[in-house]
């Protein structure tokens, strides 16, 4: 694959969605000193072999060896570098309810290049407390703190009715990427990126796929 072809292929949204899955599989792979082939990965993950080979070729710095495949250790490092996991991005979270607290507790984010520094809340009972040494401050301090610390990633886990107001505050604070868990469409300027995590939509997709599998089973 030429550099030009690599560049155009590398911007695929689908590729960015698949690479973390490859990375998780490779991290669990027993023989990190050895090699792994695209067919083996494709079979284990139930993906198209040609697609897997193209994906890995797009990010591998050395390329695979005929009949052997890709060196596991270097491939892990190449994927981590491509995804930016080797650089830690700092983030804040607005809304420290059940979901917000769970995200603040989760220690695995740093493996993927994300570190949550603190949370912001309007509930007076939570303000001044902390979760795993991450302080919870009043939401009114969010703009100033994000500006001073030069935070560029914000996570929204507030109720839908408060999400746009919190979003506007994040934009005012200089945040350029928002991970939105609220079930609402957010309006942002062109320079701000929003990634929506709609749990209801995911559930619909899950139940729809389950229904299809059940229908297939009944046909046999």
CA dihedral of residues 53, 58, 59, 62 (deg, nearest 10): 80
**Helix boundaries (H) for 11-129:** 13-28, 38-45, 49-59, 72-83, 98-105
CA distance 24 to 199: 22
pLDDT exceeds cutoff 50 at 6: no
Encode burial over 21-39: b for 16+ CB neighbours within 10 A, e otherwise.
ebbeebeebeeeeebbbbe
Q: Which residue has the higher pLDDT, 202 or 75?
A: 75
Whole-prediction pTM: 0.74
Burial class (CB in 10 A: 0-12, 13-18, 19+), 40: middle
Domains of the chain: 3-83 (1.10.10.10), 89-201 (3.40.50.720)
pLDDT more than 70, % of the chain = 92
């Amino acid at each position: 694959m030429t550099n030009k072809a690599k560049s155009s292929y590398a911007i695929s949204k689908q590729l960015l969605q698949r690479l973390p899955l490859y990375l998780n599989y490779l991290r669990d792979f027993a023989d990190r000193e050895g090699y792994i082939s695209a067919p083996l990965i494709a079979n284990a993950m139930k993906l198209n072999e040609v697609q897997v080979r193209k994906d890995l070729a797009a990010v591998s710095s050395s390329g695979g060896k005929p009949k052997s495949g890709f060196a596991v250790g270097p491939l892990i490092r190449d994927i981590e570098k491509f995804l930016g996991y080797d650089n830690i991005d700092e983030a804040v979270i607005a809304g420290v309810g059940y979901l917000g607290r769970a995200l603040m507790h989760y220690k695995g984010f740093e493996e993927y290049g994300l570190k949550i520094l603190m949370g912001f809340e309007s509930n007076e009972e939570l303000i001044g407390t902390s979760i795993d040494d991450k302080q919870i401050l009043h939401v009114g301090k969010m703009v100033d703190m994000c500006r001073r610390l030069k935070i560029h990633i914000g996570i929204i886990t507030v109720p839908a009715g408060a999400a746009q107001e919190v979003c506007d505050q994040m934009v005012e604070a200089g945040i350029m990427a928002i991970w939105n868990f609220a079930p609402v469409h957010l309006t942002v300027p062109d320079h701000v990126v929003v990634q929506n995590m709609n749990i209801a939509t995911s559930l619909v997709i899950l139940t729809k796929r389950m229904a299809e599998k059940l229908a297939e089973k009944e046909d046999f």
